[in-house]
A and B are shown apart, each in its own frame.
Chain A
Amino acid sequence: MDTMRDRFAPVVTRLLDEDPRVAVLLAEIGKDAFGEAIARHPDRVVNVGIREQLLVGAAAGMALTGLRPVVHTFASFLVERPFEQVKLDLGHQDTGAVLVSAAASFDWPAGGFTHMAPGDVALLDTLDGWTVHVPGHPDEAETLLRRAVAAGDDKVYVRLSVQSNRQGAALDGERFLTVREGRSGVVVAVGPVLDAVLAATEGLDTTVLYATTVRPFDAAGLRRATEAAGTDVVLVEPYLAGTSVAAVNDALADVPHRVLGLGVGRRELRRYGTFEEHAAAHGLDAHGLRERIGRFAGTPRRESARA
């Protein structure tokens, strides 16, 4: 199967052909896939070299002249390294761009911690007005990329990963999908962790929601799910554990609830190896998820907490 990133350049190349507002900014990474686009649109596909502050600053400048820049590199060099440019040149300047990252939390474990960005979504959470898409399949990536580019001058982050579910879902780019209905708790699976979550919750009487757009957070969808399934909520996110716990708490602020935030741990593993080994080390494989979700579901609420 192709990857989300395999879809990225062809989709954006078509958008460049269709919409004269669209521009692409690169910092070396990913440029080979845009060869055809550079030949056809040399002024709208720009590789600035290994210069990530310029990458984001120049995107803001392009946007200020009316273009819709699509900016791409690895997540660690797109969000973390030029974070002040993301905060000021896009946010404070009151302009927008589509930031499309690759490599995610540990897509290339052999590359080590310098190429891992489990904190990207949490960092963007310190800023106002960002839409965050976390597709779980190449088809979903295509849908969400098109939606992101079409979103006026909004600030949109699209987090691509080599990890993928077996099948893509039909998305509206806003709401969570109900994948399974149960009566004992809600599990929210974000993007590419869905297959592992479904395997982990097999036989449990839980509702499973599938989230590919996490900001804004579909609070109404979560509340609806808790009406039948109760307010025990487990979040499974493919980035820093607990990133969306505050959003769950806000959604359920007026009802007693419990929430468990699962995701990538803070501790550096200092290991190389494979994606599967890292998922297991962070407890994000089906076995690790089942153990922790089962323990949470099996823990009765203390009476004082219910009062």
Chain B
Amino acid sequence: MTITADGLRAYGYDDLPGLMSLMTGDEKHGPAATSTLDVLWVLYDRVLRVTPELRDDTGRDRFLLSKGHGPMAYYAVLAAKGFLPVDWLPGFGSYDSPLGHHPDRVLVPGAEIASGSLGHGLPIGVGSALGLRAQGLSGPAVWVLIGDAELDEGSNHEAIAFAGPAGLERLHTVVVDNSSASHALPGGIAARFEAAGWSAVTVDGRDHEALYAACTAAHPGRPHVVVARVEPKNA
């Protein structure tokens, strides 16, 4: 944490566990609670062109959290980046709190979609990329975060199979792979996307430099997936 010239706190990566503790009451968090933490931080800190001031700007990048389970890391990053007040965090899950165990875009500043039921984010992301393209907005990127087990849902495969041939270059997906699928995708996750014409990179989901490189790799004419491998959920 640092103190900026105007006296506001600026939060860094090292502050995220503390912010999560405001929600969970736990000092330490296991791999399941933090599986998305590093990806989220790298995206919001270095990749996404979106700020609290730009959250209604048509030219902003869109980040769609499809895997809405365990959103503490997401809320912590949104709070650290100033989208929502830190003093909302302790109310997490309570009746009067905007912060539920699955995020609601109507209630959470900066949340592009509501999620919870799995397999909805990628089709919505496809539509967002189509909608931006149809309006000539070639700048904004659309990012969708899903989990490896979320790929069980067939709706994802409708979206994956369409987005490649449609050449949705501004569509990006991060699959956080913590080996939680009971039946792993035959051939592997990256291969599934590559077979549909996507650009794909698989990296260590805890390595910030590797994540940054993967998220900013060029992929002309194709949608892009980053498979971020983290510790197995049940290890």
A contact set with B: CB distance below 8 Å: 20, 23, 43-44, 46, 48-49, 51, 53-54, 56-67, 69, 84-85, 88-89, 92-94
Contact = CB atoms under 8 A, between A and B. Distances in A.
A89 B120 contact: yes
B129 interface: yes
Given A53-B123, A89-B120, A48 B162 contact: yes
Given A62-B127, A88-B114, A93-B105, A54 B162 contact: yes
Nearest to B58: A66
B112 interface: yes
Interface stretch (B87-95, B152-160, B207-215, B218-226): B152-160
Interface stretch (B10-18, B19-27, B132-140): B132-140
A60 B133 contact: no
B155 A58 contact: no
Contact of B133 (A20, A43, A66, A93): A43
B124 interface: yes
Nearest to A82: B155
Contacts of B166: 46
A91 to B, nearest CB: 10
Given A57-B159, A64-B131, 12 more contacts: A48-B158, A53-B123, A53-B155, A54-B162, A59-B127, A61-B125, A61-B127, A62-B127, A65-B135, A67-B135, A85-B155, A88-B114
Looking at A43, A51, A54, A57, the one whose CB has the most chain B CB atoms below 10 A away is A54
Interface residues of B, number: 32
Contact of A49 (B154, B155, B162): B162
Contacts, number: 103
B113 interface: yes
A61 B129 contact: yes
A34 B159 CA distance: 22
Interface of B: 58, 104-106, 112-114, 117, 119-120, 122-135, 137, 154-155, 158-159, 161-162, 166
A44 B58 CA distance: 18
A253 B103 CA distance: 39
Contacts of B104: 92
B15 to A, nearest CB: 31
Contacts of B130: 23, 43, 46, 58, 61-62
Nearest to A59: B127
A93 B113 contact: yes
Given A61-B124, A61-B125, A89-B123, A51 B134 contact: no
B133 to A, nearest CB: 6
B162 A64 contact: no
Contact of A58 (B105, B113, B114, B127): B127
A93 B124 contact: yes
B127 A57 contact: yes
B120 A85 contact: yes
A36 B133 CA distance: 20
Looking at A20, A48, A59, the one whose CB has the most chain B CB atoms below 10 A away is A48
Given A53-B154, A61-B131, A66-B58, A85 B123 contact: yes
B126 A61 contact: yes
Looking at A48, A64, A65, A88, the one whose CB has the most chain B CB atoms below 10 A away is A65
B154 to A, nearest CB: 7
Given A44-B134, A94-B106, A51 B162 contact: yes
14 contacts: A23-B131, A46-B166, A49-B158, A51-B162, A53-B158, A54-B123, A57-B120, A61-B123, A61-B129, A63-B127, A64-B128, A65-B58, A67-B134, A93-B113
